[in-house]
Amino acid sequence: MVGITTTIPLEIPLAAGESILDLNNLFVNHETPQELIDKAEMAGFPRNTCGWIKGIYGAIQNFDIRKVISVTEGDCSNTRALMEVLSSQGIKIIPFAYPFEHSEKALAGQIHSLAEQFQVDTAQIGQAKKHLDLIREKIHEIDRMTWQEDRVTGRENHYFQVCSSDMNGDLDRFSLEIDSFLAEAGQRQPLKEDLRLAYVGVPPIFPDLYPALEKLGARVVFNETQRQFTMPFPTADIVDQYLHYTYPYGIFFRLEDIKKELEKRRIDGVIHYVQSFCFRQIEDIVLRKNLSLPVLTLEGDQPAPLDARSLIRIECFLEMLRAAKGAS
């Protein structure tokens, strides 16, 4: 079993017959995720450090994970320090980087070295990609049914897409779960929320964001990062695939994808989620400058239900969007 700190070329460990666990999902879906954060703080992680980093650390300890693929470039520098702490505890760390220069040559080098670590060749990786792509296509259909047919809630859209980072640790079981969801959702009447939202940024640490929005009459029909996890673009090989993947390559590359989807999905407003103490909070400046739609920046720290301060921001934002819609 191998843990991952964020999305990596899943095809490679899969080709080697490894089972893969996204440590973020392991953390946030834990019965008491706060305990995992407490574990990290007891070990000395500062209070003003990203909750995801602490949660990943806690999950590794809790589930006694001994091997981790850690993304050292394209994600945050906190991951590097986390990797150092873990390796000092005897946990095997396999580094992987999405090179900042975003070139085919540099990424191919990284993919080659990861493949060497797992002792798999191009043909085996190609096979694994085919297998994964079949599942990914079905998740793309869930996404399409979200924005085009209005049959899928924001949380369902989030769940199936976010789980594609590790296919819930079991490809066949996850594939069956998707099949049964698609059959059920296909029978539904279209949902009736009057506001269509985009959610951009890392996945939320709040467990109740999507239902809270829907209770207030607004539905997320675009989950930016989660959708990226599903590799929503046809590609022939994995180097090409992870060059198209926007999440690790900076805000301007992400914005190209975001802008296209905002228009296609007829979005009324954007929620930019930022994690407390994350460098991506700074990217909010660029994001706001480049989007013409209203943006609500929502900050989360710990894995707990939305607090009163966040709710008040959400309700004001939705009222503002409604007033603007009524006036136009």
| Binding region for other proteins (CB under 8 A) out of 50-58, 128-136, 241-249, 296-304 | 296-304
- The reply to whether 235 sits near other proteins by the rule CB under 8 A is no
Residues 273-292, mask of contacts with other proteins (x by CB under 8 A): ---------------x----
Q: Check binding of 308 to other proteins (CB under 8 A).
A: yes
320 binds other proteins (CB under 8 A): yes
* Beta carbon nearer to other proteins, 43 or 320: 320
Indicate whether 315 belongs to the interface with other proteins (CB under 8 A).
Answer: yes
Classify 217 as helix, strand or coil. coil
Task: Find the binder of other proteins among 41, 297, 302, 304 (CB under 8 A).
Answer: 297
Q: Counting contacts by CB under 8 A, is residue 259 touching other proteins? A: no
* Closer residue to other proteins in complex, CB, 133/301: 301
Tokens of 169: 């640790």
Q: Does residue 81 touch other proteins according to CB under 8 A? A: no
Site for other proteins (CB under 8 A): how many residues? 20
- Minimum distance, C-beta of residue 312 to other proteins, in the bound complex (Å): 4
CB half-sphere exposure, 155, CA atoms < 13 A: 11
Whether the Cβ atoms of residue 200 and residue 272 lie closer than 8 Å to each other: yes
Which x/- pattern, by CB under 8 A, does the window 195-234 give for other proteins? --------------------xx------------------
Strands 218-223, 269-275: pairing kind:
unpaired
**Number of C-beta neighbours around residue 288 at 10 A:** 13
Here the tokens at position 26 are 């392991």
Q: How many CB atoms lie within 10 A of CB 76?
A: 21
Contacts 24+ apart (CB under 8 A), 207-212: 207/28, 207/303, 207/304, 207/305, 208/305, 208/306, 209/306, 210/153, 210/154, 210/155, 210/158, 211/153, 211/155, 212/306, 212/311, 212/314
Pick the piece of the chain touching other proteins (CB under 8 A) from 35-43, 170-178, 252-260, 295-303.
295-303
Distance (Å, whole) CA 279 – CA 256: 20
Question: Smallest gap, in angstroms, from Cβ of residue 42 to other proteins?
Answer: 23
Candidates 57-65, 159-167, 173-181, 304-312: pick the segment binding other proteins (CB under 8 A): 304-312
Give the contacts of 144 (CB within 8 A, at least 6 positions apart): none
Tokens of 246: 């926007």
Q: For the segment 94-123, give every residue that binds other proteins (CB under 8 A).
A: none
Binding of residue 47 to other proteins (CB under 8 A)? no
> Could you say which of 286, 299, 302, 304 contacts other proteins (CB under 8 A)?
299
The sheet with strand 295-300 has its strands ordered as 218-223, 195-201, 269-275, 295-300
- Nearest approach in angstroms of CB 234 to other proteins is 38
Q: Which two tokens stand for residue 194?
A: 């009057």
Beta carbon nearer to other proteins, 29 or 297: 297
**Closest approach of other proteins to the CB of residue 136, in Å:** 37
Token pair belonging to 138: 């079905």
Tell me the closest approach of the beta carbon of residue 2 to other proteins, in angstroms: 36
Nearest-angstrom CA–CA distance, 321 and 78 = 36
Q: Which residues contribute to the site for other proteins (CB under 8 A)? A: 215-216, 288, 294, 297, 299, 301, 308-309, 311-313, 315-317, 319-320, 323-324, 327
